[in-house]
Amino acid sequence: MIRFNLNGAWVEASDVAPTTTLLRWLRDTRGLSGTKEGCAEGDCGACTVAVVEQGAKGPEYRAVNSCLLLLPMVHGKHVVTVDGLKREQLHPAQQALAEALGSQCGYCTPGVVMTLFEATYRGDLDAPWKLDDQLCGNLCRCTGYRPIREAAQQVAGTCPADEFSKALPASAPADTSLQLERAGQRFTTPATFDALWDELDAHPDARFVVGGTDLSLEITKRFQAPPKLVSLEALAPLRALTEVDGVLRLGATATISELEAFTAARSPAIHRMVRYFGARQIKHRGTIGGNLCTASPIGDLAPVFLSLGATAVLRSRATERRVPLHEFFVAYRKTALGPKEVLAAIEVPRPSPTARSVAYKVSKRRELDISTVSAGLFVDTDASNLVTVARFAFGGVAATPKRATAAERAVVGKPWTRETALAASKLLGEDLTPLSDHRGSANYRALVARNLLVGFFDETLTVRQPALQSGHAATVQPGGLS
Ligand SMILES: Cc1cc2nc3c(=O)[nH]c(=O)nc-3n(C[C@H](O)[C@H](O)[C@H](O)COP(=O)(O)OP(=O)(O)OC[C@H]3O[C@@H](n4cnc5c(N)ncnc54)[C@H](O)[C@@H]3O)c2cc1C
Ligand code: FES
Ligand code: FES
């Protein structure tokens, strides 16, 4: 039985197929039609609702896409939907949007309201780019973004002392584990590792799921129903983010927004890549492990982690083993994970103070887009400016995220100069085998990869650690790449 708090009251959902999305259930079963469906794939934000966690200072609201959230994933949680804002008075987010004339068709509006709702209770929206980041998961094609942005500016961080700022109502299920079998489908959420291994022994064909921002698309876009899913969400040790002896240990089920907060002061390269990852709603659900385990050639975390010399920690009932990340991606969408084995964490050594490290994402749109080419680039030099370590990793230019080892070898022992970077960029073709698709031709991708390497040199010439939110490679003169 799925039990969760919906708009202040505990509700139960029985007789529901585990692959039912929260959006479908709200609309079809509860008649809560305020929450809209636009794209059913996390791109438009019309379905945005807030999932709530009890933080140290009160409830913390997280805007998420209800079209990608399977109903069992909200078991034991608190959810607020736009229908839950109906009170005597408009919520400040609604009031601000109405006053700024930020709504015309009204279809995207409920999602915008819920994103502004989250912004209302966020205390850290203290820079203009953070407002863009907050809003980029909500499309509006008619009113335009200026009035919506103005409304967001008006309410962001105001934290009114209303019912939404009070402690969460009690009586949550103490045990957040779940075992559900309906309509020929099975969904389990083990809360202990023993329960996880037992489940895998009994159902070796079960698939893992965490945020569902990849896997749910199989349900909403390909109309498939994975028969057996095991959620790793309730296993707290898998979500921890720590730093011990100069090594960042990043729990595989930590969300991208948790990673963003954790790396803000610890790893500018990771932080910058994460800034351009999906949108707020996706970052609240998508996880580190989910991103790496798809082994997608265009996953955004792999290149930056590869460039930082990361190690994957793989765990099964009997063992915990460490695999260098460049050996984790074994073929197109295939990883080194064995049967009944989970990705537990990624370990990233802190670079030495002399190292330079930058991540780049090249996409058609700056916000909420998939990479055409991405890169994580790293060099360390000695006192004479000779390169001691080089790791050049790319996404979107091979069947897996990949290091360009020929180019790396070519720079080690050489002075770190533009000529060295330029010469290395000409060797990228030895490792990278880009394909043409609707995002870019093979030639374009190859040229972008070369440009990024030379642009990396230019950027690191002036700044040892890049500005966090710039995200643009320095311009490379075309003449320099002939
Ligand atoms: C609108 C939208 C925008 C997106 N934008 C980006 C983007 O900018 N950059 C980007 O890289 N990606 C993007 N994604 C893809 C996706 O959000 C990320 O890959 C995300 O990190 C996946 O995490 P998840 O927890 O949701 O994965 P899930 O969907 O839960 O799982 C994905 C796969 O990984 C496996 N898995 C998950 N965790 C583990 C584990 N610990 N051990 C073993 N196997 C595991 C699951 O079995 C499943 O096969 C986007 C997706 C959407 C829908
Ligand atoms: S319906 Fe478009 S993001 Fe969910
Ligand atoms: S108000 Fe609906 S598209 Fe803008």
Q: What is the pLDDT of residues 98-121, one digit of tens each?
A: 999 999 888 999 999 999 999 999
Cβ(65) – ligand 2 distance below 6 Å: yes
> How many Å apart are CA 346 and CA 328, to the nearest integer?
11
CA of 142 to the centre of ligand 3 (A): 5
Q: Mean pLDDT in the chain?
A: 92
Structure tokens at 115: 């994103």
Ligand 2 centroid – CA 449 distance (Å)? 32
Q: Which of 97, 116, 141 to mutate to test the pocket of ligand 3 (most atoms within 8 A of CB)?
A: 141
State the closest ligand 2 atom to the C-alpha of 65, by its place in the atom list counted from 1: 4
User: Ligand 2, residues 21, 25, 43: which to mutate, most atoms within 8 A of Cβ?
Assistant: 43
Please work out whether the CB of residue 376 comes within 6 Å of at least one atom of ligand 2.
no
Instruction: Report the separation in Å between the CA atom of 287 and the middle of ligand 1, taken as the mean of its atom positions.
Output: 6
pLDDT given at position 462 = 66
Ligand nearest to the CA of 143: 3
Write out the two tokens for 37: 């469906």
Structure tokens at 29: 């079963």
* Residue recorded with tokens 């590869």: 306
Q: What's the pLDDT score for residue 474? A: 35
Residues facing 392 on adjacent strands: 377
Q: How many A from CA of 110 to the centre of ligand 3?
A: 10
Structure token pair of residue 116: 């502004």
Comparing C-alpha atoms, which of 453, 445, 441, 440 is closest to residue 481? 453
| 3-state class (DSSP) for residue 157 | coil
pLDDT score recorded for residue 173 = 66
pLDDT (tens digit, 9 = 90+) per residue, 130-180?
Answer: 999 999 999 998 878 899 999 999 999 999 999 898 888 766 666 789 999
Alpha carbon nearest to ligand 3 atom 4, residue: 140
H-state helical runs in 276-383: 280-285, 288-293, 301-307, 325-328
DSSP 481: G
Q: Across the strands, what pairs with 324? A: 311
Task: Please name which of 383, 379, 375 lies closest in space to residue 420, comparing C-alpha atoms.
Answer: 379
- Please tell me the distance from the alpha carbon of residue 63 to that of residue 282, in angstroms, as a whole number: 9
CA-to-CA distance for 162 and 154, rounded, in angstroms? 17
For ligand 3, which residues put their CB under 6 angstroms from it?
Answer: 103-109, 140-143
What is the model's pLDDT at position 106?
A: 87
CA distances to 1, 6, 15, 116, 203 from 12, in Å: 7, 10, 10, 28, 26
pLDDT of residue 470: 40
Minimal CA–CA distance to 459: which of 268, 175, 314, 328? 268
Low-confidence ranges of the chain (pLDDT < 50): 465-482
Q: Which of 121, 124, 210 is nearest to 168 (CA)?
A: 121
Find tokens 């040790």 and name the residue. Answer: 237
188 lines ligand 1 (CB under 6 A): no
Environment class of residue 29 by beta-carbon count within 10 Å: exposed (0-12), middle (13-18) or buried (19+)? middle
Cβ 46 under 6 angstroms from ligand 2: yes
Residue 403 in tokens: 């290091």
State the pLDDT at residue 481: 35
What is the pLDDT at residue 53? 84
Interacting residues of 274 by C-beta distance below 8 A, sequence separation 6+: 256, 259, 260, 263, 283, 300, 301
* C-beta of 138 in contact with ligand 2 (< 6 A): no
Our answer on whether the CB atom of 45 is closer than 6 Å to any ligand 2 atom is yes
Cβ atoms within 10 Å, residue 87: 10
Ligand nearest to the CA of 44: 2
Q: How far apart, in whole angstroms, are the C-alpha atoms of residue 5 and residue 50? A: 12
Region of 42 on the Ramachandran plot (φ > 0 left; ψ -120 to 50 alpha; else beta): left
Q: According to the model, what pLDDT value does residue 468 have?
A: 42
Distance CA 326, CA 223 (A): 33
Please name each of the domains of the chain with its CATH number. Answer: 1-171 (3.10.20.30), 236-349 (3.30.465.10), 356-481 (3.30.390.50)
Nearest CA-CA partner of 333 in 400, 411, 241 = 400
Report whether 82 contacts 164 (CB < 8 A): no
Q: Which ranges constitute the DSSP H helices of 81-127?
A: 92-99, 109-120
Residue with tokens 């996953």: 299
Spatial distance between the Cα atoms of 28 and 35, rounded to a whole number of angstroms:
11
3-state percent breakdown (helix, strand, coil) of the chain, nearest 5: 35, 25, 45
Cα gap 395→187, rounded to integer Å: 33
Which mutation among 43, 47, 94, 104 tests ligand 3's pocket best, with the greatest number of atoms within 8 A of CB? 104
For ligand 1, is residue 289 a contact (CB within 6 Å)? yes
Ligand 2 within 6 A of CB of 60:
no
If you take atom 27 of ligand 1, which residue's CA is the nearest one? 290
Residue 472: per-residue pLDDT: 40
